[in-house]
Chains A and B, each alone.
Chain A
Amino acid sequence: MDFIFVGFIEAFSLLLGGDDQTWSAVAATIKASSGSMVASLILGVPLGFTLGYFDFPAKRQARLLVDTALALPTVFIGLVVYAFISKRGPLGEMGLLFTLPGIAIGQTILALPVVIALSATAVESMDRHLRTLLISLGANRRQLLLSSLWEVRYGVLAAGLTAYGRVMTEVGISMMVGGNIKWHTRTITTAIALETGKGMFATGIALGLVLIAIAFGVNVCLSFLRKK
C-alpha cells in the first residue's frame, strides 16, 4: 500500500515543481479537448435543438441513430479516424495523423452524439407553454428559437459538461490517432496508461489529480453560471 501513498506525495511534488513532462501532457490534453469541444458544441447544439424542437420525417430514426452513437467505443472511432487520415486514407494529404488536430477530430466524433442527444432531451423537456408565451409577447421566428435555446441553457451546459468529461477521459482515440508521442501528442490519459505500465505510479497519480482538478474547475464554472 505504501507505493500508493508515496505516489500521491511524489505526484504533488511533480505538479508543484513544474515537471515539464507532466505539464506537457496537461497542455496537449487541454488543446485537443478544447478544439473538439468547440467543434462539437458548434455542430451539436443546433443539431440537438433541431432534433428536440421540430417535428420532421424520420425524426425517430435520427434519434435512434444519435442514441446508438452514444455508445461508440473510442477505439472504434480511433480506428475509423486513423483509416481516414493515414497516408492511404482519403484525408491522408492533410497530415493529421499523430497530431493534436487529428485527436481533436476523433474526440469531436465522440462528443458530438452526447451534445446532440442531451441538448435534444433538454429541448424536449422544455415547457410546452414557452412557445405560447414567446409568441404572445411578440417574438418573431428567430427570437422564438434563440429565446427557447436560452431557456434550456442549463440543459445545454450539462450536455457540454458531460461531453467534456467523456472527451477528457478517453484513451483509445488519443492513443491510436495521436500515437502517444512524448512532448507532442502525449495526453494525460495516454501518459497515465504508459507510466502505470512502467510502474511509475507517481506520474500517473499526478496526471489523474490534474484530470480531477479540471473536472472540479468546470463544475465550479457551471455552478457560478447557474447562479447568474
Chain B
Amino acid sequence: MPPPTYRIENLVHRYNNQPVLAVDRLEIEPASIVGLVGPNGGGKSTLLKLMAFILRPTEGTILFNGAPAAPFDESVRFRVTLLTQDPYLMKRTVFNNIAYGLKVRGDQEDWTQAVHAALTMVGLDPNIFSRRQWNELSGGEAQRVALAARLVLKPRVLLLDEPTASVDAASSELIRAAALGARSEWGTTLAIASHDREWLYDVCDEVLHLFKGKPAGTGRSNMIFGPWIPEDNGRYAKLLGNGGRMTVSAPPNADATAFIDPAAIRILGKGETASSTDSVSVHGTITRLSLEKRRGDLFADVRVGPLTLVVRVVESHLAAMTLHRGWPVTIAYRPENIRWR
C-alpha cells in the first residue's frame, strides 16, 4: 500500500511569534480531493502554503509520499504546485508564463504543444491567447492562464486557494472542470480551499473545517458565530434579525463560535412539535437538497433568518414528509449538542 501523499504531524506555524495554525495530525491519500473550509483567517491559506512547501513550518513535520520534505527539495519541485486566489502572472506573454515551469524544469519536450494543451484544458484558444501579454487579459482569463501554468506540469498535487473567488461564473466553471480533469487524467491529488461549501461537498472525498488555525471537524458542519445574548432562563441566544432567535446553552464567552452537527438537527413533520428531548425549535425555509458523495446521505440547507443550517435528513423522516426547495419547515435541536470554540 503506497504511503499517504501527505502525513502532517504536530504541525505548528507562527507569524511573528503569533500561532496561526496548529494541526496535530492530517493524512491525505493519493488521488483524493480534500476540501478546506472555514472563515477568513482560519489558517487555510497557511496550510496550503505549507503543503506547497513554500513555507517551512515553525514546528512539526510534513511527510510527502512518506518522506520528510522542505522548500526547494527535488522531491517536491514540479510535483506540488499551488494556485492562489490572486491571478498573479509574470510580466511576459501568456506562452512564456505557462512555459516557465517547463523551462525551469529543463523539459526537452515540445513546449508549444504542451502550452497549447494546457490552454485548451482551461478553455482558452491557444491561437488567440498564447501571444497575448500578461496585462491583456481579464481577471477570469488571467486566473485560467495561471491554472494552465500549473497544469502544464502535470502535477502530482494541485493545491487551490480559493481559485474561483474573484472570477465570473463561466471562468469559475472552467477552472473547476480543469482542476477535476487533472485528477481524472493524471491521478492528481487535489486540496481546495473555498468558501463554496456546496461545490466542495459535491466533489471532495473529505472536507476539513479550519477555525482559528485549528481543525474543527470534517464533513458537513454548522458554524454559528456570536455575539450571544443572555436570556432569563440561563440560556443564551443569537438574535436572527427577523424577530427570531437561536437558543443555545451557555457559551464560554459572548463571541464564541457554536458548532452543531447536521445529524443533531432534525426537521419536524407536519403537526409535530419539539419533543422534550429537542428543547428548541426554529422556523426556516429549505433552500437546497443535496446528496453526500461518499455515504449517500441526504442533506437539506435550511435558511433561518440570516443563517443557513445544514440538516441531515433521516430516511424515516423522508418517507413521512415532502421536501422541496422553498418549503417552510420547523427544525429542532438540543442546545446540549452544541460544541464551542
B-contacting residues of A (Cβ < 8 Å)? 127, 129-133, 135-141, 143, 147, 151, 154
Q: Is the CB of A136 within 8 A of B88?
A: no
> Is A138 touching B84 in the complex (CB atoms < 8 A)?
no
Which residues from A are CB-within-8-Å of B52? 132, 135-136
Residues of B within 8 Å of A151, CB to CB, are 90-91
Q: Which residues of B contact A143 (CB under 8 A)?
A: 104
**Known A-B contacts A135-B71, A137-B101; A129 and B82 likewise in contact (beta carbons under 8 Å):** no
Q: Is A135 touching B72 in the complex (CB atoms < 8 A)?
A: yes
Pick 29 A–B contacts, CB within 8 A, sort by A: A129-B84, A129-B86, A129-B88, A132-B54, A133-B88, A133-B90, A135-B52, A135-B53, A135-B54, A135-B71, A135-B72, A136-B52, A136-B54, A136-B81, A136-B82, A136-B83, A137-B149, A137-B153, A138-B77, A138-B78, A138-B105, A139-B104, A140-B77, A143-B104, A147-B90, A147-B100, A151-B90, A151-B91, A154-B91
* Bound Cα distance A151, B100 (Å): 13
Query: What's the minimum C-beta distance from A142 to chain B, rounded to whole angstroms?
Result: 10
Of residues A132, A133, A137, which shows the largest number of chain B Cβ atoms within 10 Å of its Cβ? A137
A-contact bits for B22-60, CB 8 A (1 contact / 0 none): 000000000000000000000000000100111000000
Sorting the interface of chain B by its residue count into under 10, 10 to 19, 20 to 34 or 35 or more gives 20 to 34
- When distances are taken between beta carbons in the complex, the residues of chain B under 8 Å from A133 are 84, 88-90, 146
Q: Which A residue's beta carbon lies closest to that of B159?
A: A136
Residue of A nearest to B90 (CB): A151
- List B contacts of A130 (CB < 8 A): 88, 90
Kindly list the 4 A-B residue pairs having the minimum CB-CB distance in the complex, ordered from nearest: A129-B88, A137-B101, A138-B78, A136-B82
Closest chain B residue, CB of each to CB of A132:
B54
Taken together as a complex, chains A and B put the C-alpha atoms of A136 and B79 apart, in Å, by 9
The A-B contact count (CB < 8 A) is 54
Is there a chain A Cβ closer than 8 Å to B220's Cβ?
Answer: no
Contact assessment for B153 and A138 in the assembled complex, using a CB-CB cutoff below 8 Å: yes
Across-interface contacts of A135 in B (CB, < 8 A): 52-54, 71-72
Query: What is the bound-complex CA distance between A137 and B153, given in angstroms?
Result: 8
A151 to B90, CA, bound (A): 7
Since A129-B88, A132-B88 are in contact, a sample of 12 more A-B pairs with Cβ atoms closer than 8 Å, ordered by chain A residue number, is: A133-B88, A133-B89, A133-B146, A135-B52, A136-B83, A137-B81, A137-B101, A137-B149, A138-B77, A138-B81, A138-B105, A147-B100
Interface string of B61-97 (1 = CB under 8 A from A): 0000000000110000110011110101111000000
* Cβ-closest chain B residue relative to A141: B72
Smallest CB-CB separation from A154: which chain B residue? B91
The answer, yes or no, to whether B150 is at the interface (CB within 8 Å) is yes
Cα of A52 to Cα of B200 in the assembled complex, Å:
40
Once bound together, how far apart are the Cα atoms of A140 and B150, in whole Å?
A: 16
Q: Which of B77, B90, B146, B150 has the most CB of A within 10 A?
A: B90
The chain A residue sitting closest to B101, CB to CB, is: A137
Shortest Cβ gap from B118 to chain A (Å): 12
Q: Is the CB of A137 within 8 A of B54?
A: no
Find chain A residues with CB under 8 A from B149 CB.
137
Give the interface centre of A127, A129, A135, A151 by most chain B CB atoms within 10 Å.
Answer: A135
A127, B86: Cα distance in complex, Å: 11
A127 to B101, CA, bound (A): 19
Q: How far is the CB of A65 from chain B (nearest CB, A)?
A: 26
A139–B101 Cα distance when bound, in Å, is 8
